[in-house]
Amino acid sequence: MHKICILGCGISGALTAIGLSKNGICSDVIEIKPEHDILSPNDPRTTALNESSISYMKEIGVWSKIEPFTNPIRDIFVCQNMSNNVLHMSGYG
């Protein structure tokens, strides 16, 4: 049995497990979703990464595998469900 248990194998759980492993710390990851849902997620959400997140991913050796699937943020649209109000921010990236 390991001393660290990570609940959920989303991006945070997976990166935490990899980071611990790279530092010689074993952990157990517990995920309720079936493996096929994790490997082929049908989830429209996305993740924004800041420079600190990218540095961490480089440090644990996963950034080179993730980077080809990334794009800079050029526009941000913020809205609330059922509302006609939209905040548009542009000029990023």
* Full-model pTM: 0.71
Express each pLDDT in 62-81 by its tens digit.
999 999 989 888 888 888 88
What backbone torsions phi and psi does residue 54 show, to the nearest 5 degrees? -65, -40
H-run or E-run covering 37 = helix 35-39
Tell whether the model's pLDDT for residue 40 goes beyond 60.
yes
Residues 4, 9, 11: CA angle, nearest 5 degrees: 110
Q: Say yes or no to pLDDT of 1 above 70.
A: no
- Residue 38 in contact with residue 54, Cβ under 8 Å? no
Confidence of residue 17 (pLDDT cuts 50, 70, 90): very high
